[in-house]
């Protein structure tokens, strides 16, 4: 009887081996939905380590892709990928294939959470008791500064501070403090040559960016979109017919109706329509959060 080949996950020991690692993980095949289901069932029912290894290896490219999105925090990309791989393994361990969605959709929550926690620990910004709002600010500040065309290494204008604080729902002083902390942290340049000053050696960013769409990432995006639509439909059932109609006409159509048009249709004031819309939206958000917790994140506190 021939022994089956054991799947070996490539090692990532530092930035020097990053290019080799990225080349190695591209060799692992993307699993079909049926292959993924059968492997997940084998691991779930028999704790088969080979099944787990195949599930992990087929999603290493997804981890690398997600980790690249966090490379602006001045931390080694190899470390970000390693932490993401830890999250992937946790996702594989807790994945329940009979729930009807793909592993990539579920595992990306664990991958992102693991990478974010590592970044926060490394920056020494988060202690026990740090609020969710502060974490949200930390991971969105750079993106918002870019949108506002603010300089990365300078203080924000009062107008920009107000805009960011309002959009993220945090105090303006927290925006100022976080921006200054992040300015002090600095970023590692991706334009550094792979081999010092050697001409033609290439730069790190040449390895960090791959514009080709990943099949597993495409599957994850499509699956997540489908799940969100399903959850939205389920959450809409928590609204009464009037709330559902008003919210749909105000927020879920390409050409929203005005408050005036809906007030005439229901023979109430525009303010009353606005109140119903706000209340319906709050109910919808709570229902979506509850459904997401039940369907996507069983076991995640």
Cα 156 from Cα 268, distance rounded (Å): 44
Q: Given this model, what pLDDT does residue 208 score?
A: 42
Q: Tell me the per-residue pLDDT of 19-69, one tens digit each, with 9 for 90 and over.
A: 888 888 988 988 999 999 999 999 999 999 999 999 999 999 999 999 988
Q: Is 209's pLDDT higher than 50?
A: no
Q: Left if phi > 0, otherwise alpha if psi is -120 to 50, otherwise beta: which for 94? A: alpha
CATH number of 1-123: 1.20.120.1810
Q: Supply the pLDDT for residue 173.
A: 83
Tell me what pLDDT residue 192 has.
Answer: 45
Q: What are the start and end residues of each CATH 1.20.120.1810 domain in the chain?
A: 1-123
pLDDT of res. 15: 53
Task: Report the pLDDT value the prediction gives residue 159, as an integer from 0 to 100.
Answer: 87
| Res 204: pLDDT | 43
What pLDDT does residue 177 have?
A: 77
Give the residue range(s) of CATH 1.10.10.10 domains in the chain.
Answer: 237-295
Encoded tokens for 275: 């109140």
Q: What is the pLDDT at residue 120?
A: 76
Token pair 């749909």: residue: 248
Q: Which pLDDT belongs to residue 257?
A: 86
Burial of 197 per CB tally in 10 Å (0-12, 13-18, 19+): exposed
Q: Right CATH number for 237-295 from 1.10.10.10, 1.10.760.10, 1.20.120.10, 3.40.50.10420? A: 1.10.10.10
Give this prediction's pTM. 0.52
pLDDT tens for residues 115-164?
A: 888 887 776 544 433 566 777 777 788 788 878 877 665 678 888 888 88
Contact 87, 110 (CB under 8 A): yes
Cβ(273)–Cβ(266) under 8 Å?
Answer: yes
What distance in Å separates the CA atoms of residue 90 and residue 114, rounded to the nearest whole number?
Answer: 9
| Contact present, 72 and 64 (Cβ < 8 Å) | no
CA distance 136 to 153: 20
Query: Mean of the pLDDT values across residues 244-266?
Result: 87
DSSP annotation string for the chain: -PPPPPP-PPP--SGGGHHHHHHHHTTSPPPPHHHHHHHHHHHHHH--HHHHHHHHHTTHHHHHHHHHTTGGGSS-HHHHHHHHHHHHHHHHHH--GGGSS-HHHHHHHHHHHHHHHHHHHHHT---TT--HHHHHHHHHHHHHHHHTT--TTSPPPHHHHHHHHHHHT--HHHHHHHHHHHHHH----S-SBTTTT-TT--BHHHHH---SPPHHHHHHHHHHHHHHHHHHHHHHTTS-HHHHHHHHHHHSSSSPPPHHHHHHHHTS-HHHHHHHHHHHHHHHHHHHHHHHHHHT-TT--
């Amino acid at each position: 009887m021939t022994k089956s080949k054991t799947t070996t996950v490539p090692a990532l020991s530092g930035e020097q081996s990053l290019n080799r690692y990225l080349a190695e993980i591209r060799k692992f095949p993307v699993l079909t939905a049926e292959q993924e289901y059968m492997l997940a069932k084998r691991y779930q029912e028999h704790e088969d380590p080979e099944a787990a290894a195949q599930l992990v290896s087929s999603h290493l490219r997804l981890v690398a892709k997600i980790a690249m999105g966090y490379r602006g925090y001045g931390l080694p990309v190899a470390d970000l990928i390693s932490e993401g791989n830890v999250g992937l393994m946790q996702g594989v361990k807790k994945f329940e294939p009979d729930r009807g969605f793909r592993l990539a959709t579920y595992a990306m929550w664990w991958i992102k959470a693991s990478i974010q926690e590592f970044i926060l620990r490394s920056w020494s910004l988060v202690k026990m008791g740090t609020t969710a709002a502060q974490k949200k600010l930390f991971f969105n500040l750079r993106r918002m500064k870019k949108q506002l065309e603010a300089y990365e290494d300078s203080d924000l204008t009062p107008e920009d501070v107000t805009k960011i604080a309002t959009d993220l729902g945090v105090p303006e002083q927290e925006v100022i403090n976080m921006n200054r902390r992040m300015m002090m942290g600095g970023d590692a340049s991706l334009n550094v040559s792979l081999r010092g000053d050697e001409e033609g050696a290439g730069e790190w960013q040449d390895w960090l960016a791959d514009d080709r769409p990943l099949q597993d990432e495409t599957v994850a995006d499509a699956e997540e979109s489908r799940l969100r639509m399903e959850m939205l439909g389920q959450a809409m059932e928590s609204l009464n017919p009037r709330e559902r109609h008003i919210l749909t006409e105000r927020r879920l159509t390409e050409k929203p109706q005005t408050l005036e048009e809906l007030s005439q249709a229901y023979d109430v004031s525009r303010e009353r329509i606005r109140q119903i819309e706000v209340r319906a939206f709050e109910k919808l958000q709570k229902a979506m959060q509850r459904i997401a917790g039940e369907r996507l994140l069983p076991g995640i506190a």
